[in-house]
Amino acid sequence: MSFIPPDTRRRQMLLAALGSAAWPGAQAQGSARPVRLIGPFTPGGSTDILARAIGPQLAAALGTTVLIDNKPGAGGSLGATEAAKAEADGNTLLMGHIGTLAVNPALYPRLGYDPLKSFVPVAWVARVPNVLVVNANSPAKSFKDFLAMVRARPGHHTYSSGGNGSAAHITFEFLKLRAGLFMLHIPYRGTAPSITDLIAGQVDATFTGAPAVLPHVKSGRLRALAVSSPARLPNLPDVPTVAESGFASFEADQWYGVVAPAGTPAAMVARLNAEINKALLLPEVAQQLAVEGATPMPGTPKAFGDLIARELPRWAEVVKAGNVKPD
């Protein structure tokens, strides 16, 4: 018989107990506190949609209600701060995003949380590639054409985003940094108007999430030139990655994942991770994610924590180099 250290045995017993029982606090007659999954952006966006995709599966597995609580503001910082200050009892979670967990620390000097110290990683949920697009009438027929066009007239061409400090803004600044481009940023109040003006020819390009631009690419109103992901997209098999176009290791996808307040018991984190991973493997959940252009990313809490730690210095450099300031 092999020896199992007492501490390891206790953790295994606790995890087994949690795995077979309702979530702590779940009671009969609906008197339990719901698990609150905070979405730090407005309803209807990718963060909200992804939270609602896994919410019902998580509720069924835990034997309690999962409430999606939208708390937008300050680039997601308001909702993230509220989650960070919540009790570490497994009943408050945050659907984090590249902005809230990797970019905001460089944008907001007085941020009310630290992505690495205020939270414990639970699960990487999904990644969503960005697509570089231009107006269908643009002279740039390819990514190579686009680079040549911009370099020929530094400072003349413009790009749009959903606002200062938004994912599209940061992604384009990263491209400018890597490719040595000089373009003017035109911020909008949201992704939709930034795309509307691109279609109208008021700006020259944008580099934003696939779900927002794919319908316009398919309709012929926009032309896709490159994608930010390591591999080409199934929906755009003829569109190259930036990495294969001369910028090795270029990667600038948006990503999403669940974190919990620091101090949440390890067994609870393990249970939540297991149940979220199960949800991500369900065909109906995968289909919901596919509509958003999202790829499920089931894995360990450590894998998600390592991602956050890697991304923080990378985006801090981009924010500094681009002199990015939030709205």
Give the model confidence (pLDDT) of 79-117 as tens digits: 999 999 999 999 999 999 999 999 999 999 899 999 999
**241: Cβ contacts below 8 Å, ≥ 6 apart:** 226, 227, 228, 229, 230, 231, 232, 250
**Which pLDDT belongs to residue 106?**
94
Q: What is the pLDDT of residue 24?
A: 67
Inter-residue contact 220 to 133 (CB < 8 Å): no
Max CA-CA distance within the chain?
A: 74
Q: Do 209 and 254 touch, CB atoms closer than 8 A?
A: yes
Kindly report, residue by residue over 57-66, the tens digit of the pLDDT: 999 999 999 9
Phi, psi of 213 (to 5 degrees): -110, -20
Structure tokens at 257: 């994942």
List domains and CATH numbers for the chain: 6-128+254-321 (3.40.190.150), 130-245 (3.40.190.10)
pLDDT attached to residue 22: 55
CB atoms within 10 A of CB 16: 11
Closest of 107, 170, 143, 23 to residue 325, by C-alpha: 107
- pTM recorded for the entire structure: 0.83
C-alpha–C-alpha distance, residues 159 and 186, integer Å: 6
Question: What is the rounded average pLDDT of the residues 297-316?
Answer: 97
> Would the pLDDT of 7 be above 60?
no
